[in-house]
Amino acid sequence: MSIETIKNYKLTHMAQNLCQSIGAALLGFFQSIGALAMFIGKAASHCFRPPFYPRLILKQFIDIGYYSLPVVGMTALFTGMVLALQSYTGFTRFNAEGAIAGVVALSVTRELAPVLAGLMVAGRVGASIAAEIGTMRVTEQIDALVTLSVNPFKYLIAPRVIAGTLMLPLLVLTADIIGIYGGYIVSIYNLGFSSGSYVEQTWDILTKIDVLSGLYKAAVFGFIVSMMGCYHGFNSGRGAQGVGTATTYAVVSASILILIFNYILTQVFFS
């Protein structure tokens, strides 16, 4: 064999290898998208078909909704406060201090409350769902459910998805109020605005769609967070490492999806 043919052979071999790994990666990617889509379809359909487990749904309402209040409330409060402060330092340059109330109200209801609450809940709830269901998978508790004639989709997943989707809008509504109140506190006590005109400006600028769009977003984000937690937990790998990885994936994928869907939904609502 001449050196030339050997070189050619090596080159084709490399090209083949490259194509092979790209192909394998693509196949893997589509396979996981397909698996996820099937999981979501199955999980969502079980949310509407009996038997239901009201006791478990109630427990998830409390776990996901009530216990997330402090972290979401703190996030909203300080976001509203810093927003007022930042707008003030910026807007005084254009003598536009009067717009602060509006900026705080619109930013909080449309964007910051749903997105930040979604991200905080992804960290708090998404992680705990993935870790809990992942541990149940690893210790065969999910198999045990099946052998006791209980469908894990109905027993474990449906209550969490229902609670996530319904509770996040309520959390965001609370965050809206607290966030705007945070802006109010800074504006009145720190920047010396008059209380009456600040409240009036807030009411003037807010429309129904500002608040509602935020709540719709919140429902979608709640669905994403609980679904990602369930999916990654349910398909957790073996052992402590498997559960750790599942938890990481749940939080990361939920956070990224929240940001992507936030853009898509904003486009849908305001264009």
Partner 1 sequence: MSMPKIELNNVKKSFGNKVVLDGVDLTVNKGESMVIIGGSGTGKSVMLKSVLGLITPDSGSIKIDGQKITTYSQKQRDGLMGQFGMLFQGGALFDSMPVWQNIAFGLIQSKKMGRDEARAIACKKLQQVGLNANTGDMYPAELSGGMQKRVSLARAIATNPDIIFFDEPTTGLDPIMADVINDLIVNCVKDLGATALTITHDMASARKIADKVAMIYEGKIIWSGDVSALYDSGNSYVEQFIHGRAEGPITKHANFKA
Q: Out of 147, 196, 208, 263, name the contact with partner 1 by CB under 8 A.
A: 147
Cα gap 195→15, rounded to integer Å: 70
Please tell me whether residue 89 binds partner 1 under the rule CB under 8 A.
no
Cα gap 83→54, rounded to integer Å: 40
Q: Out of 8, 17, 20, 139, name the contact with partner 1 by CB under 8 A.
A: 139
CA 182-188-190 angle, to 5 degrees, is: 85
Task: Report the residue number, 150 or 177, with the smaller CB distance to partner 1.
Answer: 150
Cα gap 265→62, rounded to integer Å: 28
Return the structure tokens found at 122: 């992804």
Please tell me whether residue 146 binds partner 1 under the rule CB under 8 A.
yes
Q: Out of 5, 89, 149, 267, name the contact with partner 1 by CB under 8 A.
A: 149
Radius of gyration of the chain (CA): 24
Q: Out of 19, 27, 33, 144, name the contact with partner 1 by CB under 8 A.
A: 144
As measured in angstroms, the least distance from the Cβ of 146 to partner 1 is 6
Residues in CB range of 136: below 8 A, 6 or more apart: 142, 156, 233
Ordered DSSP codes for 201-247: HHHHH--HHHHHHHHHHHHHHHHHHHHHHHHHHHT--SHHHHHHHHH
Span interacting with partner 1, options 9-17, 32-40, 142-150, 183-191, rule CB under 8 A: 142-150
51: nearest Cα among 161, 153, 147: 153
Please tell me whether residue 141 binds partner 1 under the rule CB under 8 A.
yes
Please tell me whether residue 27 binds partner 1 under the rule CB under 8 A.
no
Span interacting with partner 1, options 27-35, 86-94, 137-145, 236-244, rule CB under 8 A: 137-145
Residues in CB range of 123: below 8 A, 6 or more apart: 251, 255
Task: Report the residue number, 154 or 217, with the smaller CB distance to partner 1.
Answer: 154
Please tell me whether residue 150 binds partner 1 under the rule CB under 8 A.
yes
Site for partner 1 in 155-174 (CB under 8 A): 155
| Residues 171, 117 contacting (CB under 8 angstroms) | yes
Going by the DSSP 8-state scheme, the letter that residue 148 receives in this structure is: T
Please tell me whether residue 44 binds partner 1 under the rule CB under 8 A.
no
Task: Report the residue number, 53 or 269, with the smaller CB distance to partner 1.
Answer: 53
Q: Out of 151, 177, 188, 242, name the contact with partner 1 by CB under 8 A.
A: 151
Count how many residues are written for the chain: 271
Please tell me whether residue 143 binds partner 1 under the rule CB under 8 A.
yes
Task: Report the residue number, 150 or 191, with the smaller CB distance to partner 1.
Answer: 150
Please tell me whether residue 204 binds partner 1 under the rule CB under 8 A.
no
Return the structure tokens found at 257: 């999806």
Which positions lie near partner 1, rule CB under 8 A? 139-141, 143-144, 146-151, 155
